[in-house]
Chain A
Amino acid sequence: MRDAPGQPLLDVTELRAWYGDSQALHGVTFNVYQGEVVTLLGRNGAGKSTTLKSVMSIVSRRTGSIRHQGTECLALTSDAIARRGIAYCPEERGIYSSLTVEENLLLPPVIAPGGMSVEEIYTLFPNLRERRSGQGTKLSGGEQQMLAIGRILRTGAKLLLLDEPTEGLAPVLVEQIGAVIATLKQRGFTILLVEQNAHFAAGLADRHYVVEDGRVVDMIARADLAASGARLAAYLGV
């Protein structure tokens, strides 16, 4: 955990969300401190991705509270959320087929100083440099994931929401993404990570929240992880 708790960077309380008439979140409560990597773990359909979308205001009908740097953000539109310095990398990656790789990379507007330069991003993901003028969706799955992560690093956003960045990738790529996340943490980014792969998350995160049926049911800190293996397996096992 943190040395000096203070005010969390992101503080979500009793978040409920609906898709049309069906309720997807039934009261999600968690927080993320500056500089932390926090994961949301849980089975398929537990509400992890919906939680990220709700924070980004992509899901329109929500109640509860989402505080960023102490400011209530529930009523903001998603572009206003982004301009507060929260960047989102969707599960389906969301690479635009009508844009080239470089256009994809340069798309999100810079909202604050201190983002990474394009050169730095290319250094982090050398594959993208080679294919910069190709069509975005012609990249392989792994490259698309790198592009999806890479493009939100430029904007100066300090809080990254990553939705299952390792989904469907080969083990060697999963490892690479893991290394990138570790690098980003070192560089001072705060990361909220949705994962199904607890093993992958274990090596990266400071804390894990377990999401089940649209609620946060447990929180496991990194230090307790070894001791809570059975508990976690019970949450996630099929």
Chain B
Amino acid sequence: MIEILTNWMDLLPPAPALFGQLLVGLINGSFYAVLSLGLAVIFGLLNIVNFTHGAQYMLGGLAAYALFTYAGIGYWPALLLAPLLVGASGIVMERLFLRHLYRLDHLYGMLLTFGVTLVIEGLVRFQYGSTGSPYPVPASLSGAWDLGFMFMPIYRGWVVVAALVVCLGTWFVIEKTKLGAYLRAATENPKLTRAFGINVPRMVMLTYGFGVALAALAGVMAAPIYQINANMGSEIIIVVFAVVVIGGMGSIKGAIVSGFMLGLAEGMTKVFYPEASTTVVFIIMAIVLLVRPAGLFGAVTLTAAPEAETHATGRALVAPATLRLLVIGALLCGAILPLLVYPVFLMKVLCFAIFACAFNLLMGFSGLLSFGHAAFYGGASYFAAYAMKAWGFDPLGAVLGGGLLAGVLGVAFGHLAIRRQGIYFAMITLALAQMVYFFAVQAEFTGNDEGIQAVPRGVLLGVVNLANPLAMYYFVFACFVASFAAIARIIDSPFGQVLKGIRDNEARAISLGYETGRYKLIAFVLSAAFSGIAGALDALVFQLASLTNVHWTMSGHALLMTILGGVGTLTGPVVGAIIVAGMENYLAQLGAWVAVIHGCVFIVCVMMFRAGIVGEISAWFVRRHAMGSNLYPLQAAEPRIVVSGPAARER
């Protein structure tokens, strides 16, 4: 018995290494706990998934750095000042933007804060670059304690203790005080709470400021440990989303406990199987979703379902004959364009267009917002690049293979993600895609930062040499036409009708006897497969598969194109793709500003043009037509709340 025990002990790494990693885990856990606590508090009262939380954490660290560098203000005052400053910026953001989104679906809040994140990160990158800025450990906390079995840097001990105090303090205020009772009441029933004379809007504003200040506080505490850089926020926030999926947003306690637990789990993994340490949280999330889909702490969200959105019933945009003419015109246009415009740019537009159409199939017609489509796009582009280069695939085989691979990945993702809805769905897909990203970073064959370069385009079916740009263009064009036609057909099919039914009212679809889970899964897989085709084509066009394609910003691209063009419109994503690809191409010399501009476009779309370009135009047509002839009721703006003026009602 003792022998077995000693044998087992031999397997353990030496004690200092073990405890050292556990400490690192505990530190990470402290940050996860503080951040997920802030997210949970904000979500509870505002119904908004604060994607900006990571950026605000980064801003906290940056503010401390700036205070120190430019004003000579040290750590201790910064611990108070930086959260105040960043919290105040959060209050401004709430006043300007968030306030107008409370009535809408949670997803709009997530999209808006996503856009703000792009803006903040872009600006910081522009000002400070992507490399980290060091921040000194305060003198009063430097040095280390000798605990006998390990050395404990005093600063790290302080971080863990401070995080615990902050978490417990917040928990106490919310659960045990009068102020907390107001908060809980406003979370549960804001209208009635306001009718008791409590100024709920002001409380909401201050709560957001507080949650943001918490993130900034974590950022200040992180500054001496990690290098402060523009990306530190989005890296941690995706892990925190996974933590929140595991612990549940509805529970303050759950957020704290799972934050610390997962940090520890990460630390342990670093000891025993370092390769998995970046992904272990996501793996645990997947397991929890399989075993307890509602999350470890029950995760009963306190928030009520958002108001149902009215979707205008879509009819043909134009008369069938006109439509036929338009289609022929578009095909001719596509055939002639490469003679006028740089073909590589056009091919990029087409790849993006397939990607956006595939994304829209899911978001616009099934009502599922995925933040993880980069995994399909990027995964397939790696596959296609590797298949062409190492296995000498036929280009068509590589593209179809990429689609197939993405579809298989889609089955796995979808199987997990459809267990939860709305914002959780978005967070789960984001986390799973991040897992694929880390896999791509670590795996050998992906060539890491270099990517797979000099991918041969091959000879299509042994006949057409795609090294010729025009030949490549027509191949991509054919793929686009086929994908677009297939997606349009799917949307129009009885299957597509059921999807729209689920989007509009899932409960009703279930009560009519549809197994909505299966429909959603199929839609997800189809969307993933088409995204894969797009990604594989991208690899062929640019003869490169790189980390850019699997990075979460690529998922953001899909979203941006779809929203900009018009969610739930057939042609909107194509319009969005043209604009986004154009911005990438012609604004490339602006560097970090591209992300800022993307972010601004996000914000403008979410605040003012939720129907997107095509959606707004067709809504305008509806209004105009409603006054005159009414032969063809038009496909109107889809996910707007109400599309009805007095004229529209007369019909």
Using a CB-CB cutoff of 8 Å, which residues 295-309 of chain B contact chain A? Answer: 302
The docked-state distance in angstroms from the alpha carbon of A119 to that of B199 is 27
B197 lies within 8 A of A58 (CB)? no
**Residue from A81, A82, A94, A96 in contact with B184 in the complex, judged by beta carbons closer than 8 Å:** A96
Q: Is B195 a contact of A98 with CB atoms below 8 Å? A: no
Taking the complex as formed, is A111 at the interface, i.e. its CB lies under 8 A from any CB of chain B?
Answer: yes
Chain A residues with CB under 8 Å of B197's CB are 79, 82-83, 108-109, 111, 155
Nearest chain A CB to B306 CB, angstrom units = 15
Q: Contact at B188–A96, with CB atoms within 8 Å? A: yes
Shortest B62–chain A CB gap in Å is 36
Interface residue B47 (Cβ < 8 Å from any Cβ of A)? no
Known A79-B195, A98-B187; contact A21-B649, beta-carbon cutoff 8 A: yes
A30 contacts partner chain B, Cβ-Cβ < 8 Å: no
Cross-chain contact B196 with A82 (CB below 8 angstroms): yes
CA distance A212 to B587 in the complex (A): 64
Contact partner of B196 (CB less than 8 A), chosen from A97, A98, A99, A109, is A109
B324 cross-chain contacts in A, Cβ below 8 A: none
Q: In the complex, A135 Cα to B197 Cα: how many Å?
A: 23
Closest residue of chain B to A56, judged by CB?
B195
Closest Cβ neighbor of A77 among chain B residues: B194
Is A113 an interface position by the 8 A CB rule?
A: no
Could you say which of A20, A77, A99 contacts B181, with CB atoms under 8 Å apart? A99
Contact with B along A164-200 (1 / 0, CB 8 A): 0000000000000000000000000000000000000
Given A107-B185, A109-B198, answer yes or no on A78-B649 (Cβ-Cβ < 8 Å): no
Q: State whether the Cβ of A106 lies closer than 8 Å to any Cβ in chain B.
A: yes
Query: Do B182 and A21 have beta carbons less than 8 Å apart?
Result: no
Bound Cα distance A98, B181 (Å): 8
**Shortest Cβ gap from A67 to chain B (Å):** 19
Say whether B188 contacts A78, CB under 8 Å: no
Query: C-beta contact mask, B286-320 vs A, less than 8 Å → 1, else 0?
Result: 00000000000000001000000000000000000
A58 engages B188 (CB within 8 Å)? no
Interface secondary structure of B, over-half rule:
helix
Contact B198 A79 (CB under 8 A): yes
Sample of 10 A–B contacts (CB below 8 Å): A57-B195, A78-B191, A79-B199, A82-B194, A82-B197, A94-B189, A97-B188, A99-B188, A108-B198, A152-B196
- Mostly helix, strand, loop or mixed at chain A's interface? loop
A94 CB contacts on chain B under 8 angstroms: 189, 192
Whether B181 pairs with A82 at a CB distance below 8 angstroms is no
- A56-B195, A107-B181 known; 8 new pairs, CB 8 Å cut-off, are A77-B194, A78-B194, A79-B194, A88-B195, A90-B192, A99-B184, A108-B197, A109-B198
Whether A58 pairs with B181 at a CB distance below 8 angstroms is no
Residue of B nearest to A93 (CB): B192
Near B by CB (< 8 A), chain A positions 7-22 give 20-21
Cβ B194 vs Cβ A103 within 8 A: no
- A152 contact set on B, CB distance < 8 A: 196
A79-B200, A106-B178, A109-B198 given; A58·B644 CB < 8 A: no
Contact A98 B188 (CB under 8 A): yes
Asked, given contacts A21-B644, A96-B189, whether A58 binds B184 with beta carbons under 8 Å apart, the answer is no
* B189 contact set on A, CB distance < 8 A: 94, 96
B626-651 vs A, CB cutoff 8 Å, 1 = contact: the mask equals 00000000000000001010000100
Contacts of B193 in A (CB 8 A): 107
A interface size (C-beta, 8 A): 27
Q: A20-B642, A21-B644, A21-B649 are in contact. Are A107 and B196 (CB under 8 A)?
A: yes
Bound complex: CA A107 to CA B188 (Å): 13
Expressed in whole angstroms, the minimum distance between the Cβ of B204 and any Cβ of chain A is 12
A87–B193 CA distance with the chains assembled, in angstroms = 11
Specify which of B178, B185, B195, B302 is in contact with A58 (CB 8 Å cutoff): B195
Q: Which B residues are CB-close (under 8 A) to A58?
A: 191-192, 195
Complex Cα–Cα for A88 and B188 (A): 17
Within 8 A of B (CB), among A28-72: 56-58
- In the docked arrangement, what's the CA distance between A88 and B185, Å? 15
Closest 6 CB pairs of A and B: A82-B197, A108-B196, A98-B184, A78-B195, A94-B192, A103-B181
Query: What B residues does A57 contact at CB under 8 A?
Result: 195
Complex CA gap A104/B6 in Å reads 58
B185, B193, B197, B642 interface centre (most CB from chain A within 10 Å): B197
Cβ B178 vs Cβ A82 within 8 A: no
Q: Given contacts A103-B181, A106-B181, is CB(A98)–CB(B199) below 8 Å? A: no
Q: What residues make up the interface of A, taking CB atoms closer than 8 Å to B? A: 20-21, 56-58, 77-79, 81-83, 87-88, 90, 94, 96-99, 103, 106-109, 111, 152, 155
- Enumerate chain A residues within 8 angstroms of B200, measured Cβ to Cβ: 79
- A82–B196 Cα distance when bound, in Å, is 6
Complex Cα spacing A20 to B642, Å: 9
Least CB distance, B250 to chain A, in whole angstroms? 10
Nearest CB of chain A from residue B633's CB, rounded to whole Å: 18
Shortest C-beta distance, A18 to chain B (Å), equals 13
Contacts of A107 in B (CB 8 A): 181-182, 185, 193, 196
User: Within the complex, what minimum Cβ distance (angstroms) separates A79 from chain B?
Assistant: 5
B449 to nearest A CB, angstroms?
49
CB contact between B185 and one of A20, A21, A78, A99 (< 8 Å): that residue = A99
Which residues of chain B are near A81, meaning CB under 8 Å?
Answer: 195
Q: Please, which residue of chain A has its CB at the minimum distance from the CB of B641?
A: A20
Q: Which of A21, A58, A78 has the most CB of B within 10 A?
A: A78
Interface centre among B181, B187, B192 (most CB of A within 10 A): B192
**In the complex, A20 Cα to B644 Cα: how many Å?**
11
- From residue B110, how far is it (CB to closest CB) to chain A in Å? 24
In angstroms, Cα B197 to Cα A98, docked, is: 19
A136 to B649, CA, bound (A): 44
**Closest chain A residue to B649, Cβ basis:** A21
CB of A68 to closest CB in B, whole Å: 14
A87 to B196, CA, bound (A): 7
Q: Give the CA-CA distance A83 to B194 in the complex, in Å.
A: 10
Once the chains are docked, how many angstroms separate the CA of A111 from the CA of B644?
41
Most B CB contacts (10 A, CB to CB) among A81, A106, A108, A152 go to A108
Tell me the minimal C-beta distance from B293 to chain A in angstroms: 22
In the bound complex, CA of A143 to CA of B380 (Å): 61
Contacts of B181 in A (CB 8 A): 99, 103, 106-107
Render B161-200 as a binary contact track against A, CB cut-off 8 A, 1 for contact: 0000000000000000010011011011101111111111
Chain B residues closer than 8 Å to A97, beta-carbon distance: 188
Interchain nearest-CB distance for A44 vs B (Å): 22
- How far is B182's CA from A155's CA once the two chains are assembled, in angstroms? 15
The smallest C-beta distance from B198 to any residue of chain A, in angstroms, reads: 6
Report Cα–Cα, A155/B181, bound state, in Å.
16
CB of A85, distance to nearest CB on chain B (Å): 9
Q: A62 vs B534: C-alpha distance in the bound complex, in angstroms?
A: 52
Chain A residues with Cβ below 8 Å from B196 are: 79, 82, 87-88, 107-109, 152, 155
A40 CA to B43 CA, complexed, in Å: 39
Q: How far is the CB of A180 from chain B (nearest CB, A)?
A: 20
**B182 neighbours in A (Cβ, 8 Å):** 107
Give Cα A61 to B302, complex, Å: 27
A28 to B376, CA, bound (A): 59
A96 touches B195 (CB 8 A): no
In the complex, how many angstroms separate the beta carbon of A61 from the nearest chain B beta carbon?
A: 13
Please, which residues of chain B bring their CB within 8 A of the CB of A79? Answer: 194-200
A108 to B188, CA, bound (A): 15
Q: How far is the CB of B535 from chain A (nearest CB, A)?
A: 43
Closest to B644 in A: A21
When C-beta atoms are compared, the residue in chain B nearest to A85 turns out to be B197
A1 to chain B minimum Cβ distance, whole angstroms, is 30
Specify the chain B residue showing the minimal Cβ separation from A161.
Answer: B195
Which residues from chain A contact B642 at a C-beta distance below 8 Å? 20-21
Complex Cα distance, B187 from A155, in Å, reads 21
Specify the chain A residue showing the minimal Cβ separation from B250. Answer: A98
Smallest CB separation, A133 vs chain B (Å): 12
CA distance A78 to B178 in the complex (A): 21
- In the complex, how many angstroms separate the beta carbon of A208 from the nearest chain B beta carbon? 25
B195, A82: Cβ atoms closer than 8 Å = yes
| Chain A residues whose CB sits within 8 angstroms of the CB of B178 once the complex forms | 106
